[in-house]
Each structure stands twice: as C-alpha cells, then as structure tokens.
C-alpha cells in the first residue's frame, strides 16, 4: 500500500546507461537527459567536478590532479564508484524542482546481452546506491525494439541490430523473448580506434579519439559515397613530434572502418544461420531494424542489406530507442515482468 502511494508521486525513470552516452527518460516529461558518460574528478579531494558534456570537454586537457573517466567499458561498469556518482548526479538533477520530499524513483535500465550475473549485480547496486527505490534490468535490444514500436509480444520474428558505443548487440525477438543473439565488442568506439590506427599507419599522424570521432561523424561511411567528401585531420607528427594537418577523404575513412563494418555484417549473417526457418521467413518479409548511434553511419544499412539479401531500415531517432523503450516499460508492468532479467541481488 505504501509502495503504491510513493509510486504515484515518484518520478520513475528509464535509463540507457551507455558506454558513450547516458540518456534518462522521465515518465512525465520524456527524454530529459542526454549526456556523455564521462565524469571529471579532483584526485586530491575526491570531489566530482563535472559530469556529462562539461566533463567530456575536459578530456585530454586536464592537469595531473584532475582525472576524466569513462566509467563504462563495452557496455558494462568498469568503475563502480564513479558510475554511482554519475547516476546520482543525473537522478538528483531529475528530481530538482519536484516535491520537497519527493520519493525515490523506480528505474528501468538497459543492459547488454552478454552480461554476467556479477555485472548485473553491479548495475543494480549502482542504481540503488544512486537513489533509486527499485530497479529492473532489460536487455538493450529488447528495450530498443519496444522503443522502435516493434511488435515484440507477437509470434513473428523481428531482427534488431543495436550498434552502441561499446558493443553491437544482434537479436531475433519473438513472443516477448530473444530467440537467437550475438554480442560483439565492435561498435562506435572501435570504429574511432580504426581511424586512429589508419592515421598512424598511412599518415604517420597521432590523432586523439575525439578527433577520430568527429571525422567519423562528418565523412565516415560503410561504403563509397556518390558525392566525395573530405575533412582536415589534425594531430601530432610521429616523425617530428610537431603539430600537423592533412586532408582525408571519405574513401580513406571508409577503408579505415571496413574491418569493423565487415565484422558486424559477418555476425549478422551468423545469427541468421542459427535462427529457426519460420522466423527467418518473417525477417525476410519484415526486414532488419537498426538502432543505436552506429546505425547513423552512412551506408551501413545498405551494406548489410546487400550482404544479407534482406531489407534493412534504420529506426526513427535510433540513438534514443533504448531509453524510449525503457520509459515505455514504466507504464507496462505486465510486459516488464515478462522480459526483465532476474535480480542478481537476491542470489
């Protein structure tokens, strides 16, 4: 009874705790936070100086007593304390302006497919320590499918490819469950590293991850573009140690990204190979749905479609599908109880 009273006043939240970005959905207001998963900490005092975009702007530019940290790696928590501080900051930010004695929120949070029981417990503990009343974990692909308004509870096969910052999750969904799946650590961050490595090998130029990411967003593609594009690449010359700028074009960046794109396509085909024939027939008819920031890479849907001989489309606003799905589950307790992962804290 008390829980129902608290529930009517609390600002329940859906959270996409991503390697690159953390998004928060409020049941009343929609998506209210979309910030990089970065925290800046003063090592002398242990104080959190900045979270999100402000902390990201400090990366690579801080003195020795400051540390900028990305507390998630490949979709899982790599630094528990920093993750807790980041989540606490976001939850407190949401609750500002609410009731003076606002009850703690109920949270639905997305997690990668290949997550262990220990990692599940770490996520639950971090969310509860950050101020949540209760927490439910759902797989990112399932949340993304719900956010893309796909019929996950029907007896039809739906294939979803969620390319995030740290992982690419591939899943075939039917009747509110995942039938076949694959998860690989090749995603947005790995594509950035591909560009860094390409610059080193072909131009003798050391570039930072942020420069590589900006180049990927501006001219990156999974296949050659019809209209040529180019951009300046700035970094440190490996021979002289001095700053240098060179121009790169879309063909070169496409070549740099080809290994990661090829690996994603191979895993999609491998997932289809072990999917029951009836579901493959549904997928052939309905197509593959792409979500996550990596789905916005130019030409990747067409490259997958050519390789798999299946129509592929990118979901509307693919970056927010997981958090929107988590938010929709706040109002669908029956579906949430069906698809949520068992709590690791009870074990």
Instruction: Please tell me whether the overall predicted TM-score, pTM, comes out greater than 0.75 for this model.
Output: yes
Please give the residue that has the higher pLDDT: either 75 or 268: 268
β-strands 106-111, 13-17: how paired? parallel
Q: For residue 346, what pLDDT is reported? A: 62
Q: Output the DSSP codes for 110-145.
A: EE-SS--HHHHHHHHHHHHHTT-SEEEEEEHHHHHH
* pLDDT more than 70, % of the chain: 95
Q: How confident is the model at residue 27 (pLDDT cuts 50, 70, 90)?
A: confident
Q: How confident is the model at residue 169 (pLDDT cuts 50, 70, 90)?
A: very high
Topology of 149-315 in CATH? Nucleotidyltransferase; domain 5 (3.30.420)
Which backbone phi and psi does 134 adopt, to 5 degrees?
A: -150, 160
Mean pLDDT within 214-223: 96
Please give the residue that has the higher pLDDT: either 8 or 334: 334
Q: For residue 2, what pLDDT is reported? A: 47
Beta-strand ranges (E) seen in the chain are 13-17, 21-26, 30-36, 39-42, 48-51, 66-69, 72-73, 76-77, 106-111, 134-139, 158-163, 168-174, 177-184, 205-206, 230-237, 243-249, 288-291, 312-314
In whole angstroms, what is the distance from residue 120 CA to residue 17 CA?
13
Mean pLDDT within 278-297: 96
Q: Which two tokens stand for residue 239?
A: 């021979």
- What mean pLDDT is reported for the chain? 92
Q: CATH 3.30.420.40 in the chain, residues?
A: 2-143+322-339, 149-315
CB 305 within 8 A of CB 311: yes
Q: For residue 103, what pLDDT is reported? A: 81
Mean pLDDT within 143-150: 96
In whole angstroms, what is the distance from residue 178 CA to residue 156 CA?
12
Q: How confident is the model at residue 182 (pLDDT cuts 50, 70, 90)?
A: very high
Radius of gyration of the CA atoms of the chain, in A:
21
Q: Which CATH class is domain 2-143+322-339?
A: alpha beta
Say which DSSP state 86 is in: H
Q: Which two tokens stand for residue 162?
A: 């969620």
Q: For residue 9, what pLDDT is reported? A: 55
Look at residues 109, 142, 96 and name the one whose alpha carbon lies nearest to residue 18.
109
């Amino acid at each position: 009874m008390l829980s129902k009273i608290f529930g009517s006043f609390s600002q329940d939240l859906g959270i996409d705790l991503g390697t690159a970005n953390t998004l928060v959905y409020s049941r009343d207001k929609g998506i209210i936070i979309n910030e990089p998963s970065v925290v800046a900490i003063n090592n002398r005092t242990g104080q959190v100086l900045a979270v999100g975009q402000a902390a990201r702007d400090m990366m690579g530019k801080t003195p020795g007593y400051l540390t900028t940290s990305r507390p998630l790696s490949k979709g899982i928590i790599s630094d528990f304390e920093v993750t807790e501080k980041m989540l606490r900051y976001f939850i407190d930010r949401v609750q500002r302006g609410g009731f003076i004695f606002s009850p703690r929120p109920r949270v639905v949070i997305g997690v990668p497919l290949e997550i262990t029981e220990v990692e599940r417990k770490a996520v639950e503990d971090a969310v509860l320590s950050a101020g949540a009343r209760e927490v439910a974990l759902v797989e990112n692909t399932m949340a993304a499918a719900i956010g893309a308004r796909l019929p996950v509870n029907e007896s039809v096969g739906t294939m979803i490819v969620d390319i995030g910052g740290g992982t690419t999750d591939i899943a075939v969904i039917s009747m509110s469950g995942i039938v076949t799946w694959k998860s690989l650590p090749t995603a947005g961050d790995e594509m950035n590293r591909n560009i860094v490595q390409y610059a080193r090998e072909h131009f003798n130029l050391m570039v930072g991850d942020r420069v590589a990411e900006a180049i990927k967003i501006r001219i990156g593609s999974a296949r050659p573009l019809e209209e040529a594009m180019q951009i300046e690449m700035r970094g440190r010359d490996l021979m002289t140690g001095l700053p240098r700028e060179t121009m790169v074009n879309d063909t070169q960046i496409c070549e740099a990204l080809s290994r990661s794109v090829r690996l994603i396509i191979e895993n999609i085909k491998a997932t289809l190979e072990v999917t029951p024939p009836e579901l493959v027939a549904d997928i052939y008819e309905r197509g593959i749905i792409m979500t996550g920031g990596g789905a916005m890479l130019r030409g990747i849907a067409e490259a997958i479609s050519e390789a798999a001989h299946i129509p592929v489309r990118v979901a509307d606003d693919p970056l927010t599908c997981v958090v929107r799905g988590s938010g929709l589950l706040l109002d669908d307790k029956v579906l949430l109880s069906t698809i949520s992962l068992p709590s690791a804290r009870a074990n």
